[in-house]
Amino acid sequence: MIHRMPKENPTTTQAVNIRWLNISDYQTIWEAMRQFTDQRDAATTDEIWLLEHHPVFTQGQNGKSEHLLNAHHIPVVQSDRGGQITYHGPGQLIIYTLIDLKRKKWHIRDLITRLEQAIIDMLAAHHLPAYADPKAPGVYISEQKIASIGLRIRRGASYHGIAFNVSMDLSPFSHIHPCGFSNLKMTQFSNWGGTSDVTAVGHELITYLMKGLGYGTKNIIDQTTRC
C-alpha cells in the first residue's frame, strides 16, 4: 500500500516526489490517490506516481455504456476521472499527477496542455511528429493515439493522469470505442522504433515532465510493494 510522506515546508513549491510502483491493481491505486488528495494540505509536496496496471477497462465520469462493446472477461471500473472509456494493461506506462493546482495557480486546461507538451517533446527527441488535439485530450501520431489523459480535480488538486502506450497488447482497445470515438486507432511507442522497456520510458519522460510542470528538484521513492 502507499503511505504518505512527511509534510514539507510550503515554500518548496518546486519540489516533487517521484514514486515508482510495480504493476498494480487499478482500484487500489485509485483509492490511494483519493486518500492522498483528501489528506493533503498547503504544505504537502506534489507527487508523480509511475506504474503499470493489471488489465482493466475504466469508464470516465460521463462514460456511456455503448462505448463498451465486449469486455471479454476484463474487469470494468467506473472511475471518477474525466473522459470516456479506455483500457489499461501491462506494457502501458501510467503516470499519475498529484498536483496542487491552487498553489501553481493553474486551471485544468493548463495542466492538460503541459502534460501533452511533455509527451510531444519526448517523442520529438525520437524524431516522431506527435501532436495534441484540442477537441480530444491526448497525444497522437499520424491520427493514431499514443497517449491518453484523464484527470480529476478535487479540493483544488489533481489526480489520475497519463496512460502512455509503450509496448502492450493493443487488442483490448478493439473491444471498446477508445475515449468514446468509434473510429479511433491506438498506437504505441514500440511500433515507431521506440524501446519496449516501460521503466526506461518512464525515466526519460520524467525529465520532460519535470521541466514542463515547473519542478526544480525531485525526491525518488522506489516503492516495490505489489498492490
Beta bridge partners of 19: 49, 221
Strand order in the sheet with 76-78: 76-78, 56-59, 86-88
With beta carbons less than 8 A apart as the criterion, state whether 76 and 68 touch. Answer: yes
Q: Residue 102 corresponds to which cell in the numbers above? A: 491552487
What's the chain's length in residues? 227
Catalytic residue among 112, 120, 179, 186: 179
Cα–Cα distances in angstroms (integers) from residue 117 to residues 111, 148, 213, in the given order: 10, 13, 10
* 3-class SS of residue 22: coil
123 burial type by CB count under 10 A (0-12 exposed, 13-18 middle, 19+ buried): buried
What one-character DSSP code corresponds to residue 30?
Answer: H
179 is catalytic: yes
Alpha carbon distance 87, 113 (integer Å): 22
Which residues are designated catalytic?
Answer: 179
